[in-house]
Structure 1
């Protein structure tokens, strides 16, 4: 079994939820059946949307520290930060590509048009990935995207109440109304507000997709 190194903290609640998914998705009858995980939960990574260069430097340093501590595979439950993946890969370890894995999961639903709930940086990654996979990206209108970002920061501030959940459902529905047949939860804060039964269409949850990929690669 390979040791997993996780670059986390972007944000902390989403990272903790990812670890819970990793544990729940691991087929185990006892402690020793689970994956060994080395975690760097670093909430001080510079903002991936506004300070990408500084973020890549810090993410690269995190990857090197995890490698030195014994990690054999790296994963990062933050979609936006995958724009800085080159700094992480420079550590020389296999790095699970969350964007590619989630795009493949969305394609597997059979939908031709895929809605994307993600930050601006996340949308910039998913749109070309979906297009390259022969799928049509469906994005929120500008006003709805601003509402989405407000929800992301609300989650980071600890607000995951019913009003916020209703707002996220409404944004997911807006993508379906615009023609999407599947919705990607392309920000790891999204599943803290939106569950698989909240929309009348498949939800490709990037955090769950990544957790499954980690289990497959490490076991």
Structure 2
């Protein structure tokens, strides 16, 4: 079994899900006493969120590279960034660290294509929905057509993530808002919805959508198990 290096804490609410899913996956494969070999670097998300809001991505690149190097020094053999948005820093990590990096968009796209989806919608932070680093990978490397919500819907999806979900708050009114956003995306032709923020699965589930939801947290964590046991 390879040792996985988890870059987490962004937020810890979803990092805890990674820890649970990866360990459950290893136990299912190797037996009831088995658990994953993991090294975890967990950020103070307040520091990360402040730099995101300021648009200081060079500083964020530096922090993420430092985390990757610390995990490599701790014995990690592969890296998992436990968040969608901070995959914006994946090129900097890949350039500075020799460890293989399991990109969250890849197992998500593979699952969508395996199920026959080609026109999908993406929910996530404003960074993930609006910038090219995530959508372009889905479109250019995997051939998917990716829809994003309209501007006012993007603002509400982003607000709920940063004001509620990262703080562990689950609000019924926000669930209803997400349901409405999903319905509008389905009306535009999306046959599946990517939950492209690792906290969104805390708020909505299959019962909230008329089309399948693809939880990037679970797909990424399950791919990490496969990589660790390969």
Q: Normalising by the residue count of structure 2, what TM-score does the alignment of the two structures yield?
A: 0.88
CA deviations on 1:145-203 (whole Å, 9 max, x unpaired) are 00101110111122113222222222222211221001101111111111234212111
1:127 aligns with 2:135: yes
CA distance in 1, matches of 2:17, 2:206: 15
1:199 aligns with 2:209: yes
Q: Specify which of 204, 209, 216 is matched with residue 219 of structure 2.
A: 209
SS at match of 2:122: strand
Residues 16 and 47 (structure 1 numbering): CA distance in 2 closer, same or farther, change over 3 Å?
A: farther
SS at match of 2:208: coil
RMSD (Å) for aligned C-alpha atoms: 1.7
Does the 8 Å CA contact 1:48/1:80 hold for their aligned counterparts? no
SS at match of 2:121: strand
Alpha-carbon distance, 1:109 to partner: 2.1
Write out aligned runs for 1:43-82 (5 A): 43=44, 44-45=47-48, 47-48=51-52, 50-82=55-87
Does the 8 Å CA contact 1:109/1:202 hold for their aligned counterparts? no
Residues 175 and 194 (structure 1 numbering): CA distance in 2 closer, same or farther, change over 3 Å?
A: same
The farther-off stretch of 51-60 and 159-168 is: 159-168
CA distance in 1, matches of 2:219, 2:195: 10
Residues 87 and 125 (structure 1 numbering): CA distance in 2 closer, same or farther, change over 3 Å?
A: closer
1:151 aligns to what?
Answer: 160
Unpaired runs of at least 5, structure 2: none
Q: Which has the higher helix share?
A: 2
Q: Specify which of 78, 83, 89 is matched with residue 84 of structure 1.
A: 89
Alpha-carbon distance, 1:24 to partner: 2.7
Write out aligned runs for 1:37-48 (5 A): 37-43=38-44, 44-45=47-48, 47-48=51-52
Write out aligned runs for 1:96-135 (5 A): 96-123=102-129, 124-132=132-140, 133-135=142-144
CA distance in 1, matches of 2:92, 2:219: 22
Q: Normalising by the residue count of structure 1, what TM-score does the alignment of the two structures yield?
A: 0.92
CA distance in 1, matches of 2:25, 2:169: 26
Does the 8 Å CA contact 2:105/2:138 hold for their aligned counterparts? no
1:175 aligns with 2:185: yes
Alpha-carbon distance, 1:29 to partner: 2.5
Does the 8 Å CA contact 1:103/1:126 hold for their aligned counterparts? no
CA distance in 2, matches of 1:174, 1:106: 20
Does the 8 Å CA contact 2:126/2:155 hold for their aligned counterparts? no
